[in-house]
Structure 1
Amino acid sequence: MAGGFPVAITGMGLVTAAGIGVEPNWDRVCSGISCARLDERSRDGEAHVICSVPDFDAGALLGGFAAWQTERFVQLAQVAAREALKDAGWNPHEWDGTRVGVVVGNSLGGANALERQQENLYQRGQTKVSPLLVPMFMVNMVAGYMAIDMKAQGPSQVVASACTSGTSAIGAGRDLLRSGRCDIVVVGGTESALSPLVMAGLMQMGALTKATEEPETASRPFDSSRDGFVAAEGAGMLVLERLTDARSRQAPVHAVVRGYGSATDAHHPTSLHPDGRGIETALRWALADAGIDPSQVDHVNAHGTSTQQNDLVEGTVLTRVLGSRPSVTSTKGVTGHALAAAGAIEAIYTALTLRHGCAPPTANLEHLDDALNLDVVAKTPRRAPMEVAVSTSLGFGGHNAALVLTRN
């Protein structure tokens, strides 16, 4: 296969609106049935459409300590990480923790905790503010708590680059393996910031869908009638090892990370460069890093947020770089947009697409935007042999990142 520095994905864990666990997630994204619902917590009575994790019981899944001392974005990550470790066949009580790293993407931390405690301060006074407030909302704490949980004593950090955070965490974890500093790196992304204040802010800036009458059709990537994204929560965690190490211990290899690229628009705080120069550069770097020719790409799991600008700019770049051959999907039609966690979640869906030879449909796509020349999978899953796939991510701040994965 191609060049670059091959890193094996030996374990995967998912906690999203599509379910808790990799198998329920795969079944749901392949169904094309949206997870969106109305959330009516806004103070002025205006409803928002969200995708939240169903039936998540932190006490049952993690134990009482985690349930009351950590915030939800940490809890989601820990559950996903434990699944990934089990999948990879690793027992933290048996490995050399000094050779294990943790890199997690997150942007908004414990926004819900901050809002709750700010209300306590205003209504009840300083003495009623929790002493756990700061560690509950700091973004770095998810990497810290994960390291504690899995006894990982190597480097641990959080990558905060908006909606590319999860993808960039995978790139950073791969670099730790390449450098020789670590032998195992647990990477991924997590986000749980569906708070009234955050939702109000996203709505006021025009990022969210206003299609509240039929929430299940609100997220419609690449559709001509798209009007904004559906905010979501979730976590996706992957265990990365050098491909040679994984094969030597006969570990399962779900897919291989062959290339990573990142670039910045340097254009506007929240709007993409109209020519998509950042995502084009990131994608070309990822392909070059992997030693993959654009003509070899079989599939793209696109960022595909369901906003007018993102889908048009991203779709145009995909055609410019890859042509119209690859099948394209956006799983955000089912899961919504999990912000900093999205890239990691979608990297796992991309690995599953390669493993199963099956591309999930883009939910709610009825009329492809006439300005796009893409082969977007819609209505039903598409089965086809696939060897090379790309996952793209774009974020506020002009951040862009791309991964190239191969089946083996």
Structure 2
Amino acid sequence: MLSKGLLYEDDVILAWMRNRYLQELVSGGRQKNANVKESLSRLNLHPYFTYPAIALLEPVSTAADDRGKMLRMEEMRDYVQQRASLDHVVFIDDRHRLALLFSWVSAKHLEAVQTMLGDRFGLPVNVGVGKPCSQLCDVHHSYRQAEGALQNKFYRGTGHIIQYGELPRYAALGDYPADMEKELHDALKAADSDADVEEAVEAFYRALLEQGPIDIKAMYELTARLLIGSEKKLLPGANYDSACKKFEIMSIVNMQTLQEIKACVSRFFIGVRGAMQPDQKESHRSIIKKTIQYMEQEYQAASLQSAAQKVYMTPTYLSLLFKLNTGTTFIEHLTRIRIQKAKELLDSTHYKNYEVAEQVGYQDPRYFSQIFKRKVGLSPTEYRELGGK
């Protein structure tokens, strides 16, 4: 008789085999319909579908931990599979999304599955639905269509069921809308409040999409160009080397919806507007002084986000002000403080290099050594051996 532990391991292996097979199926790796049905039966899965189709379910979460995300998706898969009808098969695709293989006659149940998941796990759920196929070996077409439908959350927002057949035709962007950018800049200069800035950004994107949705990749590229170009045009005399470029642009391309992008662009222009106001200079100097004091006291854990919270600003605004008022970026100044503290520890303690790295805020000792050598010209070990000279 098999032990309980072995049975559990067998269950894990069976779940892995099912998932692996279904991933291969939706990738187009299975050719004969009869073999697909036979394989599903051997894996104790329902083999008969009336016009099979694929739906992709994507919970909206900010979690960045891949392992934690995978464990959560496995929990969701098991939860849905236990409660779904017999002609539904649930698996996790190779991009850590929940996939549902189902008969098209059951499509009306997708809303119930979405609601069930949302209620159980407390997250909005995006759902992309592909078209039905005549046989199982063609279901990879439905899977690709479900992926395409899911991408349209960029315009539809989160928490919707999006059918592939509902997708609009995306237009190419054409020339960069320089006239619209100028109108946005004029509105920004005339703005009396943050709300006015937000409305100007809304008007910019509304005019941009007046003829219909634009290719999503083009929207990312246009937004990046808008931010970088606007810095140079609105702050021409500041000798300003794009303090927000890395912070803001990289965050833009990782955003999932147009609404997120508009909110981020609004925060950016609110920061630019504040930096443009000459009567704010004394207040700005006070803010930078408080920020530097915080960095010197909390250098181990300090970050742009935490510093911004201390002075009641957005990270983008603080990044702009810091560069304009000090001539260096926030991270460059923080690195300077950390390296100085590291030199003091190397001079006065017997801490090992990795312990010094942790003391000054670097969790990766190799990265700390690289930064130290770049700034000091010696590795931490060489610096200590030479007695700090």
Q: Which protein has greater RCO, CA pairs closer than 8 Å, 6+ apart? A: 1
Q: For the superposition of Structure 1 and Structure 2, which TM-score range results when normalised by the shorter chain?
A: under 0.3
Q: TM-score, normalised by structure 2?
A: 0.21
Provide the TM-score with structure 1 as the length reference. Answer: 0.20
Greater share of residues in helix = 2
Structure ID, larger Rg: 2
